[in-house]
Structure 1
């Protein structure tokens, strides 16, 4: 048994999880790891994640007071992000429907679950500040779990923060406006008011950022209580170049299209344009996730339901994505050049980071087929993108720390 197995044995962790689609898989990778290291983990979340939580080895308790949400069904989708027409509107919906609107019933759920499980430490998705309030009310160590880049400014000017993308300025503006609602919830649970909403995060004992430091331009400037723990999976070995693959020099190029697990209004148009672009690009295309209409596909195009990205990326030359964090970090870890068409806040940051690192290019959601074809041909033909992606993959593999999350919890309960 390893050191961290001994340190976590008997540790009871309450992991409060919101079903936002792509974040669930990453969160449960950490749950699985903590269970394997001896922790007794209870996942408190939307009923839609119960089977996956059980498969990760955790006990499961559904929300009993918070509004129920299932993003897989139109009737069960509490957030309805497709109603947003801009990143700022998407932020407002997340604030009102997920973060602060249901914060008080979330406190009730977390308080009851923590007491029943005899919890030692609470790990809460950062979109659930009510869970942090509950842990503070109970006097339990609390960890913010951030399945994206660090969302708070770290001393840079608003202009500098915006230069990396709109996520941090939008997030801080969004939560700033929620201060009266947050303080009302805190008062209801016997806690003193805060001067700023961000204090609910900065007062937490630790913050786990579930990404690679190379993906976040703020990584060198965050406070010491912030720990980058990676995205929860071990980086693969570096892909050899085509010249080093016997019999592969003339193999067809492959473009993998993996868009959002959450539908929105712009996605069908992007899919149509990509299907048209496939006729103009010398490559095989694979559309993942059931996003292609049920109709006759063009030559060299295939479509499927959801398949693990890790099985497809080793054979992928270009990844097309909306820039969601889970897909973005997998593209980095597998050394695959990317074409990003961002829609939501952190996706714009990821797209700019990909460009800064030289591993990808950014396009618009409404880009026409000929523009998409030009971008894809460039990414396929220019070896600079492949070489830069390989260098980032090497760095990620060197910096990988498999026990990073376990170490954070061991620090608090040891």
Structure 2
């Protein structure tokens, strides 16, 4: 079979499909990618069809102060819809040249859904995060109607009668489990395959025997997270019974008692951790819970608030206010987090049972 994977130029969205693509290739299938050039070519290996010369949006260009509806409005008007319009011709060219049996479209690469529907091809949605599965706009009918209208205009421009472009009527691959995300509030067929985690955790030799507490906000939040990271260093300095490790991508922090690193082998470090403090990014949350590590989540923007809510509802961790948390608040949360280890262990067990990459590949094969 031939699979065309249509993705935005965002590493967090590409990551799970990288591992699924490797599994499909190992099973003898032909796999190609399609997305904005040259960005996607730097994120994937293998054949890449360009779809748009450059992305019409870069996360670092979005005003950091945007929250709530303002952030959602910016996301749709300045990213999702323009990206779909820009990518559609390239996706059509890729379908014509590669002749895929199945198209796999990330939720933020709606051009994949547009072209697959227009060409009558079976297609699957890649839901790299569980946020949309929970219908976050269900309680906000006016905003939901606004999003529906934006999609209607997009479909009309491209001659497609399909419903919601974020959810394939054939298959939605959810890289999470019900134990964490709950049941999807969708009519679409959702397969909970669990996170597509890297094979093998590797090793990390920095542990000193004390319980390890790791603080990371991801590489894209270095400037926005400077205050929180500094407060975290102060919090950990007041907990001499634990080993603190703060990921500081900018390299601006100084401490004699708390470990600092610009980058870490995250999976390997989480395998040794007792608590992870993070921003609620889906990959970070899943990698910590896959190791059975309870979380302290301080969401910054986008889907992170929903992920934090899911962690709390699953009794796998506690939540902090990112913009208000002081050292004392972070210290209290770190001290409380170990009590949520049983919840984190339940999520880990659900991830193992879901099947991960192999199950995702099997589900995709069923569409051919």
Relative to the length of structure 2, the TM-score reads: 0.87
Structure 2 equivalent of residue 336 of structure 1? 293
- In structure 1, what is the Cα distance between the partners aligned to 2:171 and 2:112? 14
Alignment of 1:125-144 (within 5 A): 125-144=106-125
1:335 positional shift: 0.2
Kept in 1, the 8 Å contact 2:318–2:333? The answer is yes
Q: Per-residue CA shift, 1:130-160, capped at 9, x if unaligned?
A: 321111111111111111116155xxxxxxx
From 217, 220, 223, the counterpart of 2:182: 217
Give the SS at the match of 2:165: helix
2:57 aligned with 1:100: no
1:38 positional shift: 1.7
From 321, 325, 336, the counterpart of 1:364: 321
Kept in 2, the 8 Å contact 1:319–1:337? The answer is yes
Q: Per-residue CA shift, 1:302-348, capped at 9, x if unaligned?
A: 2132x332111111111011111111111111100110001224222
2:242 aligned with 1:287: no
2:20 aligned with 1:30: yes
- In structure 2, what is the Cα distance between the partners aligned to 1:26 and 1:53? 11
Alignment of 1:61-80 (within 5 A): 61-64=49-52, 67=55, 77=58, 80=61
From 355, 361, 366, the counterpart of 1:406: 361
Kept in 2, the 8 Å contact 1:152–1:172? The answer is no
Q: Are residues 300 and 186 of structure 1, via their aligned partners in 2, closer, same or farther at CA, if it must alter by over 3 Å?
A: closer
- In structure 2, what is the Cα distance between the partners aligned to 1:21 and 1:52? 7
Structure 1: tracts of 5 or more residues without a match: 1-10, 70-76, 154-160, 162-166, 238-247
Q: Which moved more, 1:283-292 or 1:39-48?
A: 283-292
Structure 1 equivalent of residue 6 of structure 2? 16
1:378 positional shift: 2.4
Structure 2 equivalent of residue 207 of structure 1? 172
Q: Per-residue CA shift, 1:264-312, capped at 9, x if unaligned?
A: 764111112112112112322222361441x53231322132x332111
Kept in 2, the 8 Å contact 1:256–1:318? The answer is yes
Kept in 1, the 8 Å contact 2:172–2:189? The answer is yes
From 91, 108, 118, the counterpart of 1:110: 91
- In angstroms, what is the RMSD of aligned CA positions? 2.8
- In structure 2, what is the Cα distance between the partners aligned to 1:229 and 1:395? 10
Give the SS at the match of 2:194: coil
- In structure 2, what is the Cα distance between the partners aligned to 1:66 and 1:107? 13
Q: Are residues 51 and 401 of structure 1, via their aligned partners in 2, closer, same or farther at CA, if it must alter by over 3 Å?
A: closer
Paired positions, count: 360
Give the SS at the match of 1:406: helix
1:82 positional shift: 4.1
Q: Are residues 48 and 329 of structure 1, via their aligned partners in 2, closer, same or farther at CA, if it must alter by over 3 Å?
A: same
- In structure 1, what is the Cα distance between the partners aligned to 2:9 and 2:140? 19
Kept in 1, the 8 Å contact 2:122–2:367? The answer is yes
- In structure 2, what is the Cα distance between the partners aligned to 1:223 and 1:407? 21
Structure 2 equivalent of residue 301 of structure 1? 259
Structure 1 equivalent of residue 346 of structure 2? 391
Relative to the length of structure 1, the TM-score reads: 0.78
Structure 2 equivalent of residue 59 of structure 1? 47
Structure 2: tracts of 5 or more residues without a match: 202-206
Structure 2 equivalent of residue 263 of structure 1? 221
- In structure 1, what is the Cα distance between the partners aligned to 2:282 and 2:212? 22
- In structure 2, what is the Cα distance between the partners aligned to 1:203 and 1:148? 15
Kept in 1, the 8 Å contact 2:274–2:294? The answer is yes
Q: Are residues 226 and 354 of structure 1, via their aligned partners in 2, closer, same or farther at CA, if it must alter by over 3 Å?
A: same
- In structure 2, what is the Cα distance between the partners aligned to 1:289 and 1:173? 40
2:241 aligned with 1:272: no
Structure 1 equivalent of residue 204 of structure 2? none
Structure 2 equivalent of residue 164 of structure 1? none
